[in-house]
Amino acid sequence: MLHEGVTVTDTSGNDLWDCGVYILTLSTVAMNTTNFRGYRKYGSRHPIKIALIGSRGIPPRYGGTETFVYELSKRLKEDFDIYVTSEGDGFYMDEFKGIKRIHIWAKHTPTMTLPAIYDIIATLYLLKKVPDINLLFYVAPDGAYAAILAKLARKKTIVSTDGVEWQRLFARMKYVPLFNKPMYLLTMLALFFAEFFACKIPDATIADSIAIKNYIERRWKPKKVIYIAYGIRQLPQIDEEKQRTILHKLGLERHGYYLTVGRIVAENNIHMEIQAFTQAKTSKKLVIVGPTNPEDPYVKYLYKLKKDDQRIIFTGPIYDTTILSTLRANCKAYIHAYTVGGTNPSLLEQLQYNRPILTYDVPFHREILREKGIYFKTTEELRQKIEEIDNKDVTIQWNPPKIFTWQHVANTYKQLFKQLVR
């Protein structure tokens, strides 16, 4: 779901070799506690203190991990003192809608992010400022390195495994320059060991997919692994007139386009969608919603595949939920070609609408869509599926089960937290 890896994302290579400088700077600043600005102690309202570490902050602005942290923390703040780490321009604490935010300094560039290092710094800062914290929940697997420090401090810990993160690098390496491949190999190794530590260090390991739970039980035999699903973000219902206005502004027609919403990275198989679409006999459009870095080798490759095909549209990121809801509700079909699990927030969001879903055939997707999904494994199969439904009026009632509601997810975590801390 939703952290971009341990060190490298979408590379052009400009800043990869600055890692040592960033780590040294972060460590120095974190230990120099006399320079923290804006700090004040917030009174405890509950006997149990829980920290959620590993997101870029709340309110959510970046992706699935931040949405998860916000949806969970706002529902649990009445039962626990909730602390959430937030990346920013300094070290301090404040409060947002009853949730305590632990701000840490972080640097992000188009080519690099260091969540594993930031998780370590956040843990050190949190343990110093809130020494009586009861439980630290690392919401992404690269937090497993920081969980070692928390265990040394005799704190209860939980780590979420997300998907099989180290496999993402296999897909991405094909598109990066040769001089970047060694860094990708090191990152892959770091993610592999993070997965190992995520199953061996914490008091509980979280899997948001049954298929992921089965995988880590088989490979790592963790002390305690628990399946807790991801919740569906409720998008607003838009009246038909407003929907028509939005579609008109975007140059689209109702059921006149196929839709993909997500990160533009190799393991999400955007190239497969473009290849299949350029070969398919359809006059409809392919709308791809997600951030595109023009310096990213994979994005450059996608534009080469697209050529001058005016049917294929890259919109860039869209955060306006009114527009997203309109796009999801009016597409001919939603295409979800992700290959690395587990449960994907963007796929879950589409279940609110009665449009068909064409998805890559992996266990993570089958456990959500079951027999109602339209599955493919190759570019040719995707082309065939597009042509099969292109001139048909297909609607599907998804009716997602209760386990995908945020209240159910929050209640399950509430029980787990109390069980571990008692």
Neighbour-count burial of 61, counting CB atoms closer than 10 A to its CB (0-12 exposed, 13-18 middle, 19+ buried): exposed
415 C-beta neighbours (distance < 10 Å), count: 10
Beta strands in 339-399 (DSSP E): 357-360, 374-376
Bigger pLDDT: 172 or 115?
172
Neighbour-count burial of 69, counting CB atoms closer than 10 A to its CB (0-12 exposed, 13-18 middle, 19+ buried): buried
CA dist., res. 340 & res. 337, Å (int) = 10
pLDDT at 62: 61
Segment 91-102 mean pLDDT: 93
Query: What letter does residue 21 receive in the DSSP assignment?
Result: H
The alpha helices in 56-209, defined as continuous H runs, are: 64-76, 115-129, 144-152, 168-173, 181-200
pLDDT at 116: 87
Q: Could you report the per-residue pLDDT of 68-85, keeping only the tens digit for each?
A: 999 999 999 999 999 999
Rounded to the nearest angstrom, the gap between the alpha carbon of residue 139 and the centroid of all alpha carbons in its chain is: 10
pLDDT at 66: 87
Extents of the domains making up the chain:
16-231+405-421, 240-399
Q: Could you report the per-residue pLDDT of 49-62, keeping only the tens digit for each?
A: 999 999 988 988 76
16-231+405-421 and 240-399 agree in CATH topology:
yes
pLDDT at 171 over 70: yes
Q: Could you report the per-residue pLDDT of 375-421, keeping only the tens digit for each?
A: 999 999 999 999 999 999 999 999 999 999 999 999 999 999 999 99
Beta strands in 161-289 (DSSP E): 204-207, 225-227, 257-261, 285-289
Q: Could you report the per-residue pLDDT of 356-373, keeping only the tens digit for each?
A: 999 999 999 999 999 999
pLDDT at 108: 60
Which CATH class name applies to 240-399? alpha beta
Instruction: Please give the model's pTM, rounded to 2 decimal places.
Output: 0.84
H or E element that contains 104: strand 99-105
Residues written for the chain? 422
What's the CATH number of domain 16-231+405-421, 2.60.40.420, 3.40.50.2000, 1.10.730.10, 3.40.47.10? 3.40.50.2000
Please, which pLDDT band fits residue 145 given cuts at 50, 70 and 90?
very high
Which among 85-94, 104-113, 331-340 has the top mean pLDDT? 331-340
Q: Could you report the per-residue pLDDT of 4-28, keeping only the tens digit for each?
A: 332 233 333 333 333 333 333 444 4
Please, which pLDDT band fits residue 43 given cuts at 50, 70 and 90?
low
Query: What letter does residue 236 receive in the DSSP assignment?
Result: P
